[in-house]
């Protein structure tokens, strides 16, 4: 369908662009029959396709050299290879003035009406630079909406799972290369906030583009069928110094419907769409579509088999009757403080997408060795702009395909878990130890559950001393329960922090058991939980234990944990003082100055010196001399030091 007629309405605070501007309200008619197209399936909006519409009219602000004028504007939905964003640009120069974020789409099939609302106008880097105002790049300067009537330009029928249309491309040989069906997240784009904040939280969404690398067409049969992929979205944050990587948000799942026949992964699409994602084909879901209020609960999904109830069964997989939606409902639920740039200086952020599908599992069962259920997660780094709602985001680099976001944790060691090969999925334990001082280490562990249906209920690390401090736990926010959400009593999953216990030579975190609470805050699929503490004991290789939630015996995994040995309380610092020719200088006084102490030592006739019983810490070392001038230097004492060389200036 394309735009037959319509009006784009904007409210822009031009004072944010020009000090002499003000707030203006602009209504700009869309040029009739603009090729800004959408796809509708069974009267439900599938989403906008790449295309544009010319806007009639103009607006301006300021006078003289400071004037800003907007003429010949175009509302464009960019191609996926260009970012897939909805933008306002100049039809003459191509300059993109504003990205549009957070927009919501409503389609009324009775009148073929399309309404776009609550879009935010975000200044692009290029436009900010052209104004000489790079400081306003990424800032929101107004809102935009559209009310349009659409006209059908192509109708397709789906028969026996295939699209029948005289305008569809001809069938071609299989374009994928992996035996069987193999869906991956080929691209992530357009991360944005949608709707207003709710309390201390906001709701985000990111566009996902699937690609079928398999030689078999992948089943994509829309609800009420239960033979289609579901798509969750997640958000991660890595701290500025890289000592921790945390999941800070998760969404409910988008139920896929109507596969398109794009080719974003460059495999060569075979032209099959509709109820199948063809071999080599790609299918885009925009951020606004993934933010839609009709996302289903994760609770219904078995992430390994891909099984979930039909939507016309007694337990429908996506029933929203009985509850209302807010700005955060079902979207990537994130605390405002976790995005506030003033509270997270230097942090990096990563959006993650995942596809869970029953077809890959069933194919694996009938074709052993062609099991493609473990590469369905990809991530992309984003920067954040803002200190409070609404936030805006910009991509940093390209999508990293077939890897979960935990893989972006710089310097971490990641160990895979597969407790029941062939009958359940995989998880990972990631860990990193950071030295904070001469005798202090931070231990950080993250457990990521990719598609393990049994879930994880406990984590235990060996500790043999009583010096453990700053014990911590972190989990992403859980969505509140709603009617028909698949949890027991429709109560939603618990957000109760895990309990800690230090006894028997181990530090253990645990949630309630499945028997105690079937809605307990276990590590379910598609989530990452963190465990941390500080210790004065240096790291050594050790064995940690992971316990499961629904079923299965605990398993062990190799990590680093505090050593049993007690570090020495004092150290020896020694070295030599020489002249500029490298000859030892005797009877010089060497000083070692710390925060609260100053030590002195005399060199022997050959220039050697020794300090004994030196406490760990930061020191300045130098030489007091009437014969030569020596440089001073900073040293960190955390072990015995024997190779200090102090050379006189020429």
Pair 437, 551 in one domain: yes
Q: What is the pLDDT of residues 313-354, one digit of tens each?
A: 999 999 999 888 999 999 999 999 999 999 999 999 999 999
C-beta separation of 277 from 220 below 8 A: yes
Q: What is the pLDDT of residues 492-527, one digit of tens each?
A: 999 999 999 999 999 999 999 999 999 999 999 999
pLDDT in tens, 179-202: 999 999 999 999 999 999 999 999
Which of 153, 183, 210 lies at the terminal end of a domain, its last residue?
153
Domain count, the chain: 4
**Which one of 153, 187, 204 terminates a domain?**
153
How confident is the model over 340-397, as pLDDT tens digits? 999 999 999 999 999 999 999 999 999 988 999 999 999 999 999 999 999 999 999 8
| Beta carbons within 8 Å of 157's beta carbon, 6+ residues apart | 163, 164, 165
What are residue 389's phi and psi, to 5 degrees? -65, 140
For position 449, which CATH number holds?
Answer: 2.60.40.1170
Residues 533 and 582 in one domain: no
Q: pLDDT-based confidence at 155, cuts 50/70/90?
A: low
166 part of a folded domain = no
Q: Is residue 164 part of a domain?
A: no
Asked whether residue 437 is domain-assigned, the answer is yes
Same domain, 123 and 83: yes
Integer CA distances (angstroms), 345 to 69, 131, 473, in order: 36, 27, 21
Residue 558 and residue 618 in one domain: no
The reply to whether 206 and 131 lie within a common domain is: no
584 and 520 within one domain: no
- CATH number of the domain to which 634 belongs: 2.60.40.1120
Is 20 domain-assigned?
A: yes
Q: Reduced to 3 DSSP states, what percent helix, strand and coil does the chain have, rounded to the nearest 5?
A: 5, 45, 45
Residue 105 lies in a domain: yes
d(CA 508, CA 546): 10
pLDDT score, position 174: 52
344, 376, 410: which is the final residue of a domain? 410
Of 157-161, 574-578, 586-590, 601-605, the poorest mean pLDDT is in: 157-161
Whether residue 97 is contained in a domain is answered as: yes
Longest alpha-carbon distance in the chain: 101
d(CA 40, CA 523): 37
- Is residue 160 situated within a structural domain? no
> What are 101's two structure tokens?
């974020």
Whether residue 70 contacts residue 61, with contact meaning beta carbons closer than 8 Å, is answered with: no
pLDDT score recorded for residue 433: 95
- In this structure, are 303 and 336 located in the same domain? yes
Residues 438 and 370 in one domain: no
Residues 479 and 542 in one domain: yes
**Domain-embedded: residue 50:** yes
Q: What is the spatial distance between Cα 533 and Cα 511, in angstroms, rounded to a whole number?
A: 18
On whether both 447 and 512 belong to a single domain, the answer is yes
Could you give the percent of the chain with pLDDT greater than 70?
93
Q: Is 187 exposed, middle or buried (0-12, 13-18, 19+ CB in 10 A)?
A: buried
Domain ranges, residue 552: 411-567
- For the residues of 226-268, what is the DSSP string, one character each? S-S-EE-EEEEEE-TTSS-EEEEEE--BEEP-SB--B-TTSS-
Element (DSSP H or E) covering residue 173:
none
Q: Nearest-CA neighbor of 456 among 555, 517, 524?
A: 524
pLDDT band, residue 456 (cuts 50/70/90): very high
What's the mean pLDDT when you consider all of the chain? 90
Say if residue 299 is in the same domain as residue 335.
yes
In this structure, are 493 and 579 located in the same domain?
Answer: no
């Amino acid at each position: 369908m394309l735009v037959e007629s319509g009006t784009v309405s904007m409210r822009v605070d031009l004072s944010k662009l020009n000090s002499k501007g003000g707030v203006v309200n602009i209504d700009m008619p869309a040029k009739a029959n603009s090729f800004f197209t959408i796809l509708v399936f069974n009267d439900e909006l599938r989403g906008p396709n790449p295309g544009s519409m010319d806007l009639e009219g103009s607006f301006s602000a300021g006078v003289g050299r400071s004037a800003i004028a907007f003429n010949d504007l175009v509302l464009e939905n960019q191609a996926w290879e260009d970012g897939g964003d909805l933008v306002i640009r100049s039809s003459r120069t191509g300059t993109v003035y504003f990205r549009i974020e957070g927009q919501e789409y409503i389609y009324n099939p009775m009148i073929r009406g399309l309404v776009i609302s609550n879009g935010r106008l975000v200044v692009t880097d290029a436009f900010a630079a052209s104004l000489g105002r790079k400081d306003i790049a990424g800032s929101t300067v107004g809102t935009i909406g559209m009310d349009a009537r659409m006209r059908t330009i192509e109708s397709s029928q789906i028969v026996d799972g295939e699209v029948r249309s005289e305008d569809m491309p001809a069938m071609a040989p299989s374009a994928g290369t992996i035996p069987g069906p193999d869906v991956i997240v080929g691209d992530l784009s357009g991360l944005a906030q949608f709707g207003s904040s709710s309390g201390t939280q906001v709701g985000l969404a990111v566009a996902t583009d699937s690609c079928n690398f398999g030689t078999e067409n992948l089943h994509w049969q829309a609800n009420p069928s239960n033979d289609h992929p579901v798509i969750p979205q997640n958000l991660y944050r890595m701290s500025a110094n890289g000592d921790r990587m945390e999941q800070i948000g998760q969404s409910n799942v988008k139920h896929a419907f109507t596969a398109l026949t794009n080719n974003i992964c460059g495999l060569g699409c075979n032209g099959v769409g509709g109820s199948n994602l063809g071999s080599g084909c790609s299918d885009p879901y925009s951020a606004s579509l993934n933010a839609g209020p009709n996302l289903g609960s994760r609770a219904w999904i078995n992430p390994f088999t891909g099984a979930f109830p039909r939507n016309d069964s007694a337990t429908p997989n996506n029933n929203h009757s009985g509850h209302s939606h807010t700005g955060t409902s079902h979207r990537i639920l994130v605390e405002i403080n976790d995005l506030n740039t003033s509270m997270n200086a230097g942090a990096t952020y990563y959006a993650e997408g995942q596809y869970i599908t029953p077809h890959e599992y069933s194919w694996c069962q009938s074709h052993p060795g062609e099991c493609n259920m473990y590469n369905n997660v990809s991530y992309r780094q984003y920067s954040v702009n803002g200190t409070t709602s609404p936030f805006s985001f910009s991509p940093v680099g390209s999508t990293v395909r077939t890897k979960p976001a935990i893989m972006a944790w710089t310097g971490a060691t990641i160990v895979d878990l597969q407790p029941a090969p062939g009958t359940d999925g995989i998880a990972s334990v990631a860990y990193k130890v950071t030295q904070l001082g001469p005798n202090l280490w931070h231990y950080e562990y993250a457990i990521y559950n990719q598609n393990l249906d049994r879930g994880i209920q406990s984590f235990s690390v060996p500790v043999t001393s009583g010096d453990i401090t700053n014990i911590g736990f972190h989990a992403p926010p859980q969505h509140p329960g709603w009617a028909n959400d698949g949890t027991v009593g429709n109560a939603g999953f618990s957000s109760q922090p895990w309990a800690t216990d230090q006894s028997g030579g181990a530090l253990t975190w645990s949630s309630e058991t499945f028997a105690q609470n079937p809605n307990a805050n276990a590590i379910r699929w598609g989530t990452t939980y963190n465990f941390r503490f500080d210790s004065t004991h240096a790291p050594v290789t050790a064995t940690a234990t992971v316990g499961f939630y629904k079923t299965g015996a605990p398993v062990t995994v190799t990590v680093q944990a505090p050593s049993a040995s007690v570090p020495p309380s004092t150290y020896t610092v020694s070295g030599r003082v020489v002249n500029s020719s490298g000859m030892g200088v005797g009877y010089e006084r060497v000083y070692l100055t710390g925060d609260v102490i100053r030590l002195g030592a005399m060199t022997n006739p050959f220039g050697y010196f020794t300090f004994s019983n030196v406490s760990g810490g930061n020191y300045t070392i130098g030489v007091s001399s009437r014969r030569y001038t020596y440089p001073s230097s900073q040293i960190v004492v955390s072990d015995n030091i024997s190779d200090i060389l102090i050379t006189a200036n020429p």
